[in-house]
Chains A and B, each alone.
Chain A
Amino acid sequence: MTVLEVKNINKSFGRNHVLRGIDFTLEKGQVLSIIGSSGSGKTTLLRCLNSLEFADEGKIIVNGETIFDAAVNKRPSDSELRAKRLHFGLVFQNFNLFPQYSVLDNLTLAPKLLDKGTKEEIEKDALELLDSVGLLDKKDNYPCELSGGQQQRVAIARALAMKPEILCFDEPTSALDPELTGEVLKVIRSLADKHMTMIIVTHEMNFAHDVSDKIIFMDGGVIAEQGGPEILEQPKSERLQAFLTSF
């Protein structure tokens, strides 16, 4: 079942044409990795999906419902926008945990404010999520007391607490020391095993190869090549070949 259709997304910042006609689809339960050098538009694409940026052209369709259409001129109201955002979750490169809240409160803040269940249900869910990322014992700690890897695992749990249909990761391990990336990748891998639909922007080629059903290579704002993980072994385009040799 197709959960996401992205059609002809174009986005410019001033004279800088960052995305030039992005098209792809994603099936439910699949993992899509987006690779490419810095400045190729990967992050901007994720931000468009999460309505943090708005494309100048194109459509985004989730489960058959058009959640974004640049041809419709009307700006969505704040509440419409919020409803659309909830199809997606986003894990940031630098975590963005809320520093004044404990780990548990970071997870429960949004579900409680948005009335996603009773207090008991929300807390029970949050504790289960913390357990699944291996941080149940840190529930009362504050973000500043955690390592980067632990903070990122909390951030993943926080995104999952809103039960998004598609979870997006924006270079989730780029801000981490090399010895801490493993624990975060392990969590993402376990989500893939549970068939969570995910879009991962990453520079971890081995990880992308192992975990993905589909890989998109972006270059200069276009999808230069896409396919299964095998394209990392046998790239067809010269640009992907050149990109992979840099690793």
Chain B
Amino acid sequence: MDSLFQQFPIVFQSLNVGFLQTLKLFAVTLLGAIPLGLIISFGSMSKFKPLSAVVRVLVWIIRGTPLMLQLLIIFYFPGLVFGKQLWGGGETGRFIASAVAFIINYACYFSEIYRGGIQGVPHGQQEAGQVLGLSKSQIFFRITLLQMIKRIVPPMSNEIITLVKDTSLARIIALQEVIWAGQAFMKGSQGISGAIWPLFFTGVYYLLFSGVLTLLFGWVEKKLSYFRV
């Protein structure tokens, strides 16, 4: 099959399937990492020193080593060391292992952003709430939270757009995401081989998706621009 017009529908369908896996990993990572990051940030700010020390070392290790290495370790370690396939075989197992690695990695990055956001709200805001007789939870939910969210939207959007592209790292444990799908046509798949353009074409998916996210975050920032912190 030599004609691009003949190749396109086959490639397009295959890349869509791959991109769906990319999207799934993206969504699951966010769903897990956003709340886990909050827990980690509270841990790192804890007044109980041993806890904050342990959490900070964990964050240092995760942020200080490549995500690709973490993926490999999380995927292969249980099988090689304990002789047990913790993740199960096949695509599902690879997906779960990828999701675990991504959630831990991104939660650590998010936790530092949250910490900056929480500590960035001036202490005077809390004191103003206290002298008006508000409770701690009223102060957090009615005063501090939105100011914190406004502060963290730009760095979070940065991380989340990075996540879109980082999902391709799961290729290293053969997760069948969009780059894997594109690369298949170089080696040969569905009667197409030696074609490089499908791999290049995967870039369009990333561009469109990060474009949508950029617009979305721009909209959120605009929504919160009515006040200054």
Asked if B130 is at the interface (CB within 8 A of a chain A CB), the reply is yes
B131 and A85 within 8 A (CB): yes
Asked if A82 is at the interface (CB within 8 A of a chain B CB), the reply is yes
Asked if A243 is at the interface (CB within 8 A of a chain B CB), the reply is no
Interface size on B (CB < 8 Å)?
23
Asked if B132 is at the interface (CB within 8 A of a chain A CB), the reply is yes
Asked if B47 is at the interface (CB within 8 A of a chain A CB), the reply is no
B127: contacting residue among A52, A78, A89, A142, CB under 8 A: A52
A159 to B127, CA, bound (A): 13
Mask: chain A, 127-164; 1 = CB below 8 Å from B; 0 = not: 00000000000000011100000000000001100100
Asked if A2 is at the interface (CB within 8 A of a chain B CB), the reply is no
Given that A99-B229, A100-B227, A144-B227 are contacting pairs, would A158 and B132 also be in contact in the complex, using a CB cutoff of 8 Å? yes
B130 and A52 within 8 A (CB): yes
A82 to B138, CA, bound (A): 12
Asked if A88 is at the interface (CB within 8 A of a chain B CB), the reply is yes
Interface size on A (CB < 8 Å)?
29
B127 and A113 within 8 A (CB): no
Chain B residue contacts of A55, Cβ below 8 A:
none
Given that A52-B127, A92-B124, A113-B142 are contacting pairs, would A99 and B228 also be in contact in the complex, using a CB cutoff of 8 Å? yes
Given that A98-B125, A113-B138, A144-B228 are contacting pairs, would A162 and B132 also be in contact in the complex, using a CB cutoff of 8 Å? yes
CB proximity to B under 8 Å, residues A42-66? 50-52
Chain B residue contacts of A109, Cβ below 8 A:
132, 142
Asked if A71 is at the interface (CB within 8 A of a chain B CB), the reply is no
A158 to B124, CA, bound (A): 15
Mask: chain A, 76-97; 1 = CB below 8 Å from B; 0 = not: 0011001101101110101011
List 15 additional A-B contacts (Cβ < 8 Å) besides A78-B135, A159-B131.
Answer: A52-B131, A82-B133, A89-B131, A98-B143, A99-B147, A99-B228, A100-B150, A110-B133, A113-B134, A113-B142, A114-B134, A142-B226, A158-B132, A159-B132, A162-B133
Pairs A–B under 8 Å by Cβ, sample size 20: A50-B131, A52-B127, A82-B133, A82-B134, A82-B135, A88-B131, A92-B124, A96-B128, A98-B128, A99-B227, A99-B229, A100-B146, A100-B147, A100-B227, A110-B129, A110-B133, A114-B134, A142-B226, A144-B227, A158-B132
